[in-house]
Amino acid sequence: MTFSYDKSARLFDTSRELVPAGVNSNTRARVPHPIYFERADGCHAIDADGNRFIDILMGNGAILLGHNCLEVQDAVRTATEIGLTTGVESAMTVALAEKFLSIVKTMERVRFTNTGTEAVMHALRLARFVTGRKRIAKAEGSYHGWGDEAFISVWPDLSKAGPVDAIQSLPGSPGQREDIVSETLVLPFNDIDNSIAAIEQHAESLAAVILEPILIDIGFIPATKSYLQALRKVCDKHGIVLIFDELLTGFNVAPGGAQEVLGVVPDLATYGKALGNGYPIAALAGSERLMSLTEPGRGPVFVGTFNGHAVCVAASLAALTLLADGSVVARINQRLTDLMAGFHESASRIGIAAVMYGQGSHFQWYFTKKVVTDYRSAATSNGTAYTAFVQSLFEQGTLVLPNPLSHHALSAAHDDSVVERLITIFSTGLEAAAANTSG
């Protein structure tokens, strides 16, 4: 399969004179140039040159129902016709809160914002207020947006990260405040003994422990139930607020998110991605006791001009209506199970050390003989094999990410025929990986 990218190349030549790197998010940068897209439908994205890709990025996992979902788009069109946009509350925000809490039964109150980064910032501020403490603990490899307070030790250089019993907190970007980075306690994901020891040592200064219950921004690595239970117990013991970042797991691995799957309930949780099926909306949810403190005059300020934007709320309400009973996620999960089985059969036949982990719509591949349980085991997998694999997938017309510490996703629009095609594409990719590595 041969694609031409002449129009994307020309768009890049123009864009890079206007926009740094020619893109508005650094993860979209590619060598020799980014690809610029014009439209999408279902599980396919079409670029400026007319090349048609099977999309397994799906808006970083946000577009769970597929591109151009009829019900979501109809709701959006209706919302644009009523004239309301932002700056006021509407009946739709009430309906969305009711729908949200009817699905996420572990949460008692919810407030909507625009991005996951904002939701996390609100959660951490609330935790500091209620505890009177200022330090935050977070898991190594766990991503919580790009704000200074949490963009720490997400993809750290292991030569600088220190041992698991004394992990060094490292900034995610130049320009972050050094005092915030140094005050952050970094925990070894899925390591009960060392995590609990670190929390116990610093408990009197810790306001919150925050983590993704499944590390998805570095691939797909679930926390064990016993690890989350241990965190819940030590947080209860010391009055520390436990926060789950469910931006990627919420409404995806199950309607109620990872809490439903793993059976551990945090004090606060953040949501987004599938919440809007590609439209920008996020949420902070939690207990009535904590969330009520964000009311005017009671505690931390919770404001935002675009909070509850009518178009995004309409999209979210339509999306959650489709996702509420779990049948959509169940179908996606079955197709992902079939896809993973096909991948592992091909890897075994070809004789290459490779695994594919996933649940709901999310998945990722690791080229290793080890069981991947944390950031460190993921970061030491075979990057050469991964590069050859994803390059083959891309050349076969599949939209993928070149970074081994990234993640991919299916959607409701990836039907059985697409899954069968992906199994064949993955098999060819594994052959390319095997040809470029020693296993």
> Token pair of 74, please?
């109809």
Q: Which fold has domain 70-323?
A: Aspartate Aminotransferase; domain 2 (3.40.640)
Per-residue pLDDT tens over the stretch 156-185: 999 999 999 999 999 999 999 999 999 999
Query: Looking at residues 394-420, what average pLDDT do you find?
Result: 97
The model's pTM is 0.96
Query: Looking at residues 130-135, what average pLDDT do you find?
Result: 98
Confidence of residue 18 (pLDDT cuts 50, 70, 90): very high
245 is catalytic: yes
Return the exposure string of 26-57: e unless at least 16 CB atoms fall within 10 Å of the residue's CB, then b: eeeebeebbbbeeebebbbbebbbebebbbbb
Decide: helix, strand or coil at residue 113: strand
Cα 150 from Cα 142, distance rounded (Å): 9
Given the structure tokens 């993809």, which residue do they identify?
155
134 is catalytic: no
- The highest-level CATH class for domain 6-68+326-436 is alpha beta
Return the exposure string of 354-370: e unless at least 16 CB atoms fall within 10 Å of the residue's CB, then b: bbbbbbbbbbbbbbbee
Please identify which of the residues 36, 143, 227, 386 carries the catalytic annotation: 143
Please identify which of the residues 55, 191, 217, 245 carries the catalytic annotation: 245
| Spatial CB neighbours of 24, under 8 Å, sequence gap ≥ 6 | none
Phi/psi zone of residue 173: left (φ > 0), alpha (ψ -120 to 50 degrees), beta?
Answer: beta
Extents of the domains making up the chain: 6-68+326-436, 70-323
Amino acid identity of residue 43, one-letter, is C
Residues of the chain with pLDDT > 70, as a percent, come to 99
Q: Give the closest residue to 165 by CA, choosing from 199, 142, 198.
A: 198
pLDDT at 439: 44
13 is catalytic: no
pLDDT at 93: 97
E strands of 146-240, at which residues? 185-187, 206-211, 214-215, 221-222
Q: Are 301 and 84 in contact (CB under 8 A)?
A: no
Please identify which of the residues 47, 217, 273, 374 carries the catalytic annotation: 273
